[in-house]
Amino acid sequence: MFVPCGDSVPDLAGFTFLMPAVSVGNVGQLAIDLIISTLNMCKIGYFYTDCLVPMVGNNPYATAEENSTELSINAEVYSLPSKKLVALQLRSIFIKYKSKPFCEKLLSWVKSSNCAKVIVLSSSHSYHRNDLQLRSTPFRYLLTPFLQKTVQNKIKSLNWEEMEKSPCIPEIDDSEFCIRIPGGGITKTLYDEGCSKEIPMVVLLKFVSEGDNIPDALGLVEYLNEWLQIIKPCCDDPTASALQWKMPSSWRLLFGSGLPPALF
Amino acid sequence: MAATFFGEVVKAPCRAGTEDQEEEEDERRETAEDREVRRQLARKREVQLFRRQTKTSLEVSLLEKYPCSKFIIAIGNNAVAFLSSFVMNSGVWEEVGCAKLWNEWCRTTDTVHLSPTDAFCVFYHLKSNPSVFGSCPRKNMQVTVLTCRHVTDYKTAESTSSLHSPFLKALKTENFKEPPCCSLLEQPNIVHDLPAAVLSYCQVWKIPAILYLCYTDVTKLDLITVGAFKPVLSSRSLKGLVKNIPQSTEILKKLMTTNEIQSNIYT
């Protein structure tokens, strides 16, 4: 359930709701971290749930000593009213069999808050790509039927690749085709819930492998930015535009502590 | 997928958790019988509160029956030893309840008669001091959590071999206004499990709470690790509760010896 930080429940009517799926390479979560950190979004509440493994730590977006001591938990909601953006960040994995109840509760809340649309940032195993997918861009999108026509048209004008259907049972030759997102975590569940609950939803994902997924996260936010224009691109040079995204202070030591000098 | 040195292709584990598609397929293939088994397992795994003396379960939540202003939780053998020797040996503490739980990791299938070596939690209330488990409502409650972690869990730019363990770190909720007895846990370090669940609850519901986390390189009961919690004795939560520190140190030494005898691998 959503619990606001302050005394009153913020009005999210007409806002765009951004959220990650906990997926391969944690790309969606890294992308949301970049968005919250770059836009300096404010924490407005918690999504208190028993569906995620509990976890706490100090402010992952701290920029100075003063703001480094605010406690953060596993599911928090941030907003930027000037751009009508609200972002949910998930910081731990789902407890077995709890992912579907979570998606149902979350989307119920989003729907009752009258958000304009939901954008899910996710990823999928790159080794599952077929030959055609190997030769094309690694980014894909999916839309629920209830997305506003203006948004659908805008996305179509960007010439993006829609996520292809693949055989439901790959081992059987004449199997039916359906949307499969291996390694996507709750992405498929969210998409299915979105369709059945008539929620305007866009899924943006990238085919990735586990490793240093920071470049993948940067790629995904750039992909999102092509459409939403969250930050104005400064020029056409892709390396320069990547530098506009601010990495949060919590991204230090992603691969563990320093090495003992005696090792060398 | 990844190829090993010998050339076979194996499925690499995913950092993002279990493969949800498998879970979905499991759910689709589930029969009514499977669902019933799952429901029964879920019921078996529920935490139960009861009174050991009367063997009856508590009908209301513990904090409703015994509202308190200071709630202190120790998790793990070293934290529990610290609390037992330094805090609970000053004053008279009465056992007011006990929580038992069972999950698939327990070596026993019996959920009714758990032995003291199984997962266990006992609640005590200070008989002489009404401010601890006294008559104050939950709004004025302050929570203190004590626990330990292995020093290799601590992330730092220097190597962990250069750290002087054991050392204490703290994490506090927004409503906890007192200065902590040690430095705060720096990013990107995080805490999981029960201490995180308690702190999350307190942060969301605006209860002042503090977690004192001792990073140590010894996982079993150890004098030096327990000693690392001593700065916490000067905190407002524990100050009034500790009377005789030299006596507490003696009690702690006795606890250590008893424990050492029990851990003889030949018995």
d(CA A223, CA A215): 12
Averaged pLDDT, B130-154: 70
Q: Is B173 on the interface with A (CB under 8 A)?
A: yes
A-contacting residues in B 196-225 (Cβ below 8 Å): 196-197, 199-200, 203-205, 211
CB pair distance less than 8 Å for A252 and B173: no
Q: How confident is the model at residue B20 (pLDDT cuts 50, 70, 90)?
A: low
Nearest CB neighbour to B200, from listed A54, A182, A189: A54
Suggest the residue from A5, A188, A257, A264 to mutate for an interface test with chain B (most B CBs closer than 10 A): A257
Instruction: Test A249 with B190 for CB contact under 8 angstroms.
Output: no
Taking alpha carbons only, the member of A57, A141, A192, A196 closest to residue B24 is: A192
Residue B31 is predicted with a pLDDT of 77
Residue B125 contacts residue B66 (beta carbons within 8 Å): yes
How many angstroms separate the CA atoms of A229 and A135, rounded? 27
| pLDDT value for A213 | 95
Judge whether residue B134 has pLDDT over 50: no
CA distance B267 to B245: 34
B75 vs B118, B164, B195, CA distance in Å? 14, 22, 8
Q: Do A97 and B38 touch (CB under 8 A)?
A: yes
Does residue B132 carry a pLDDT above 50? no
CA count, 13 A, side-chain hemisphere, B164 = 1
Q: Which position has the higher pLDDT, A46 or A67?
A: A46
The minimal CB distance from A58 to the residues B15, B21, B171 is found for: B171
Overall average pLDDT of the B34-46 stretch:
80
What tokens were used for A248?
Answer: 């949060």
pLDDT at residue number A176: 84
Considering chain B, what percentage of its residues have pLDDT values greater than 90? 22
Burial grade of A89 (CB within 10 A; 0-12, 13-18, 19 or more): buried
- Which token pair is B76? 């793990």
Asked if the Cβ–Cβ distance from B20 to A185 is below 8 Å, we say yes
Which position has the higher pLDDT, A192 or B58?
Answer: A192
DSSP state of A261: G
The alpha carbon of residue A158 is apart from the nearest alpha carbon of chain B, in Å, by 30
Cα B143 to the center of its chain, rounded Å: 13
* CA pair distance B114, B44, nearest whole angstrom: 13
- Each residue's pLDDT tens digit, A105-118: 999 999 999 999 99
DSSP for B100-152 reads: E---TTSS---SSS--TTSSEEEEEEESS-TTSS-S--GGG-EEEEEEEEEGG
Cis geometry, peptide bond prior to residue B188 (ω within 30 degrees of 0) = yes
Each residue's pLDDT tens digit, B74-103: 888 888 888 888 877 766 777 777 777 667
Q: How far is CA B98 from CA B11, B52, B61, B134, B147, in A?
A: 43, 7, 12, 18, 19
Contact residues for A196 (Cβ-Cβ < 8 A; gap 6+): none
What is the Cα–Cα distance from B15 to A92, expressed in whole angstroms? 10
Model confidence band, residue B21 (pLDDT cutoffs 50, 70, 90): low
- pLDDT of A36 higher than 80: yes
CB contact under 8 A, B188 and A24: no
Question: What ipTM was reported for this prediction?
Answer: 0.91
Residue A119: per-residue pLDDT: 97
What is residue B60's predicted lDDT score, i.e. its pLDDT? 62
Chain A positions in Cβ-Cβ contact with residue B205 (cut-off 8 Å): 3
**B198: nearest CA in chain A?**
A54
Task: For residue A211, give both structure tokens.
Answer: 């490793």
pLDDT in tens, B182-194: 999 998 999 999 9
Reply yes or no on whether the pLDDT at B127 is more than 80: no
Residue A225: its pLDDT value, please?
93
Q: How far apart are CA B131 and CA A169, in angstroms?
A: 64
Q: Considering only alpha carbons, which residue of chain A is nearest residue B173? A: A71
- Chain B residues with beta carbon closer than 8 angstroms to that of A33: none
Contact A55 B188 (CB under 8 A): no
Task: Note whether A99 contacts B159, CB cutoff 8 Å.
Answer: no
Residue in this structure with the two tokens 């000053």, named with its chain if needed: B90
Average pLDDT over residues A224-244: 74
Using the beta-carbon criterion (under 8 Å), do A96 and B200 form an inter-chain contact? no
Average pLDDT over chain A, rounded to whole? Answer: 91
Helix B20-29, helix A99-112: angle, nearest 10:
100
Q: What is the pLDDT of residue B63?
A: 63
**Best mutation target, B18, B20, B145, B153, to test chain A (most A CBs within 10 A):** B20
Which member of A25, A182, A256 has the closest CB to residue B15? A25
pLDDT in tens, B234-267: 887 777 777 766 777 777 777 777 666 555 566 5
Residue A42 confidence (pLDDT): 94
CB B66 within 8 A of CB B133: yes
Strand A42-47 and strand A75-80: the pairing is: antiparallel
B163: nearest CA in chain A?
A260
Domains and CATH numbers, chain A: 10-231 (3.40.50.10900)
For the segment A213-229, the average pLDDT, to the nearest whole number, is 94
* CA gap A16, A136 in Å, rounded: 29
